[in-house]
Each structure stands twice: as C-alpha cells, then as structure tokens.
Structure 1
C-alpha cells in the first residue's frame, strides 16, 4: 500500500482509488449523469499532492484527479471521511481545498485568466454505521438570520460538495454500480467490515469479484490487501472465513492463511517491542527511586507517584540531576 497509512481504512481506500480505473467507477456513480458523460475518463490522471493538513490526516484521506470536461481542464477532488461523527465544517474545508487547487493551477499556469472546474466529492464511511447528518453546503455554515441570508443571496459564498454516504446504501446498491472488482470489494468492505464477526458469510456475494481480482495480474498481492484489511478492522478470524474460502479455492486459502500468520507475527513483534520499552522504563524507575533513597533518605509517596508516571526520557533527566542536587526539589524542578 502506498504511503504510511494513518489508519487501515485510509490505507485500503487510497490503495484502491488512487488507480484511475478504480476511481472512475466511483466518480461516475456519484456525478450527475449529464456531467459524467462529458468527462474525459481516459484522461483521468492522479495528481501527486495532498491538500489535507497533517493534523487532519488521521480523519481524512484525499485524492486529486485531473482530466478534461467539455474539452477544458477540470479537477475531481475525492475525499474520504472515516469518522463516525461527520465533520460539521466539511463545506468550509472543501472550499479551502478548492482554493488551494486553484492556487496551484495559477502557479503552474501564470498567464491564465480563468480557473478550472473543481468538483469535490466526499465519501463517508462510518465504522459505526452512522449516516451523514451535517451540512453539505457552505451557505448552511454562515451564522446569519434566514431573512438576511435571502436578501444577501449571491453575495454570500456558495459551495455544495457531492456526498457518497456509504452508510445509507445497501450492499445491493454497491453491487449495481459499474465498478471494477477491486473498487466494489473495497467499498463494500468499507461499509460492512468494521467490527463484523460474520464476514465469512457476508462476503459470499463478492465471490465473483474476488475471483476476478485474484485472477488479474498481481491478484495474490491484492487479495493480501483485502485479507489484511478484514483481519485488521473486523472481528472475523481466519477460521471464520471458511465459507468464503470454500468458494474461492485452495490458492485463496493459502493466501489467507499466510496473511493471517504474518499479521499474527507482526502483532507479537509489536507487543514484544512495547514490552521492552515498558521493561526499560520500569528499570529506570526502580534505579531512580533507589538513588533518591540512598541520597536523601526516605522517599515521599508523592515522589514515588511522580516517578511512576514519568516516561523514560524524564526518568533519565532526573537520574542525572541526583548526582548534583542538594534536595528532592532540585531533582524535580521544571
């Protein structure tokens, strides 16, 4: 998967939809049909940039595609929102991102006297299944009396983003979309996988798509991505996938079992690393308390508590101060 993931939803979403052939199906499904017919889908090209600030990347993932609309430059800005509680300021954020896209376009085309169309789309995938209830239009965010809003009319900024709320769609609706197998599997999983204990049964409707995915070039690696996502976000274990495995065949079984073993080993390694860190900190605490006791006599309970809450860096700094400090206060100053 490209780029270090902020969360498994983000990593899987980007991995699939950063491929224009997969993104095209999703975008066509949400754009007004008359507009979708006028987009040059063959020219759809991923742009190497992100407009979401680092502080927000644990909540949102964004992809920008450039294409032609009626023969003119145009951009399709696709953003996914993974949180169970939708961002009430999303229309403002989309305006910010749109302006940044225009600024970049002006920098690349300094003689331009026009701006390209930017069509913003938000895909909402709530792990808790909560539908989008927040504004989709910028005007709704402006705190103003309705009568005054009507009087000002077009003098107020206006932007409405397209919303694909997966929580209000049933799986049959996703099956009905003209999507690649890879995109359909991903969108269905974004909708139903989180916390699900029964994916072995629930994914039987995707057998044909999974077989298509597995038979394509790089299919083994792609199935590994699917299984990694399933075993990371759901409560379905590899043994619970038996109904699905029976339909997919022995090669899929091998991929699933190998991926499960890898994830288990990685989890154990992370656990051991955390254990080593905790063990090191425990040793530093014990050593510091022993030094304090030797130099200053009895150690008050408040000091023991303070040492118990400190991290390794702080413990190291305090231990160094013990050598020159004339009192407990000097050790713990600042």
Structure 2
C-alpha cells in the first residue's frame, strides 16, 4: 500500500469532488445507507459509531486510482467493528470487482500490521468485515460484474471453493423520482438533481424539492449549495458562474423560493444569450457561404472563357485554382 503524499494525481471528475465533500459528513453517509440499503446491519448503526478513515489507499497496479471513501463502523448490538469502502464511478469500470478486492486486502493488511503479534496469533483473532460499495452516476446502465466470482473463468464449476463477495451498488439514474421524493432527505435530493437532465430542467427539479430543502438544517443546506457549485456551475459559461456563486452565497433554507427564482432568471438569461449567439453565428456562416459560392462562381466563369480561347488546362488550373476534374467537366459541357 502506498500513500498519496507527493504523488501527482489526475484531476477528479466534478461529481467525485461533490460526492467526496458530501459523504465525508458521517450523517450524510449514514443517510445514504439507511435510505437505500435494506439490510439489518444498517439499522444497527448510529452516527456516533461512524469514523471516517482519513487515509487514501492507492494500489501499485492502479497508481492513477485510489479508494474514494472508507468508513470504520460498529453496530450497537454486537459491537462488531467493520468497514464500508465506497468507490465513486461516472463510467463503467469492468475491473471494479478486482479493484475492490485489492483495496479490501490493503485495508486488512494495514489492520494486521497494526495489531500486536500476540493478538493476531491468538485463535480468537478475527479480521473485520469490509462491505464494498459503488456509487455510479453515469447515464448508461451499469454493466460490470456485481460479484467477484463473475470475474473468474468457469466459476460455475468450482462452486463453494472460490473467494467471492458482492458489492452494494448505488446506481443514481436507476432510482425513480417517486422513490427519491418519498425519501425526502438530503441524499435523495442530491440524487434527483444528479440524474440525467437538460440545463433548463434544473429549476423544475429544484421546485419539486423546495419543500424538502426548506426542512434541511443550515449544515445540510450548505451541502446542497456546495453540490450545485461543484456539479452544476462548471456546466455553465464562464460569465454566469460568478452570478451562480452570488446566488448560492446568499441562500438559506427558509428562502429557498428566492434562490430558485434567481437561478431561473440566470438560466433564462444564459439561454437568451446562447440563442442570440447562435443566430449571429448562423448569419455570419450564411454570409461566408454566400461569399465563397460567389467566388467559386466567378472562377468557373473565368475557366469557361479560357476554355473558349483554347488555353491549356494546366494554365487554367494555375489561373483559377480549380481542380482538374472540375475544369474537365466544364470543358465537356462546352463541347455538347
């Protein structure tokens, strides 16, 4: 395992940055689990039992990759310590089961190395469970294998002898709007805003979420405005990003309608400018096409006159810049 200090990292996708900031808040991370994972162990988790592991797990064979979010947890009923490893994906990665396995091994190796020798050699020594998960916000379907054994050749022939695990998948675009609205919380609201949409649909989505946003705490609301900064703002032209910043800086949960209205005005202005720019570019393009067509028409007229004077084709090519095929076609027309 290698730390990420001093090593160059490729720039993160805007969504990665947004989700990293969002899910570094343990209450939001717990909300993610309790909203979308229907398993008993989730019910037993309390926010006070969550500890964000402030360390990057970078793999030697995938030096451009690093584990995104790792939490250390314990359940209140059994006091079992375990880990949740969450990977953020905006594209399908068919190696994800293998990558998750390597991250899990690195976490277990670190725990083993940090455990006193007399403890780890005891017959009572146990390694903690690690729950792997993937959060995917790509537009297309997630088509990677959902379990590790599916990456093994002829796994059906060896049944219970193989290492295997199945990761949790949070596939944002597969959740229905009704389900997200019914959850009525911060993480469901973010998922709804992150689902595929045209820029002009943003205001409509925010209007649907207005009632939920009003009920958020100031800290939760700041998560929403940070999300809009990290994900929505980069999609806008440079001149409008400052306006969006000013709107979001002045926003709060009890004035959600004002924030939505101001964003709506900004988006309408952006669309008007884009439309005007498109019309101007269309007129300019039409003018240039007309000029080029006129210039070409003039060259053809010159070529016809030279052909009538029996000037040789090479000289006509040099005089007009027309290609030989076009001049020969003109010559055939004159001979008819």
Cα distance in structure 1, aligned partners of 2:169 and 2:220: 32
Residue 35 of structure 1: how far off its partner (Å): 2.0
- Unaligned runs of 5+ residues in structure 1 are 259-334
Please name the residue that 2:132 is paired with: 120
**Matched residues, number:** 239
The answer to whether the 8 A contact 1:166-1:191 is kept is yes
User: Is residue 2:82 matched to residue 1:74?
Assistant: yes
The answer to whether the 8 A contact 1:21-1:180 is kept is no
Residue 116 of structure 1: how far off its partner (Å): 0.3
Please name the residue that 1:140 is paired with: 150
Residue 26 of structure 1: how far off its partner (Å): 0.7
Give 1:203's match in structure 2, choosing from 189, 202, 206.
206
The answer to whether the 8 A contact 1:197-1:234 is kept is no
TM-score normalised according to structure 2 size:
0.61
| Runs of 4+ off more than 6 Å | 237-240, 251-258
- CA spacing shift, 1:253–1:228, aligned 2, 3 Å: farther
Residue 157 of structure 1: how far off its partner (Å): 1.4
Please name the residue that 2:329 is paired with: none
Residue 175 of structure 1: how far off its partner (Å): 2.4
Residue 119 of structure 1: how far off its partner (Å): 0.7
Give 2:234's match in structure 1, choosing from 217, 232, 235.
232
Q: Tell me, what secondary structure is at the counterpart of 1:198?
A: helix
User: Is residue 2:171 matched to residue 1:169?
Assistant: no
The answer to whether the 8 A contact 1:123-1:164 is kept is yes
Q: Which has the larger radius of gyration?
A: 2
Please name the residue that 1:15 is paired with: 21
Please name the residue that 2:193 is paired with: 189
The answer to whether the 8 A contact 2:18-2:230 is kept is no
Residue 217 of structure 1: how far off its partner (Å): 4.6
Cα distance in structure 2, aligned partners of 1:48 and 1:55: 19
Residue 221 of structure 1: how far off its partner (Å): 7.9
Please name the residue that 1:328 is paired with: none
- CA spacing shift, 1:108–1:252, aligned 2, 3 Å: farther
Residue 228 of structure 1: how far off its partner (Å): 4.5
- CA spacing shift, 1:190–1:4, aligned 2, 3 Å: farther
- CA spacing shift, 1:8–1:16, aligned 2, 3 Å: same
Q: Tell me, what secondary structure is at the counterpart of 1:197?
A: helix
The answer to whether the 8 A contact 2:10-2:64 is kept is no
The answer to whether the 8 A contact 2:73-2:82 is kept is yes
TM-score normalised according to structure 1 size:
0.61
The answer to whether the 8 A contact 1:224-1:255 is kept is no
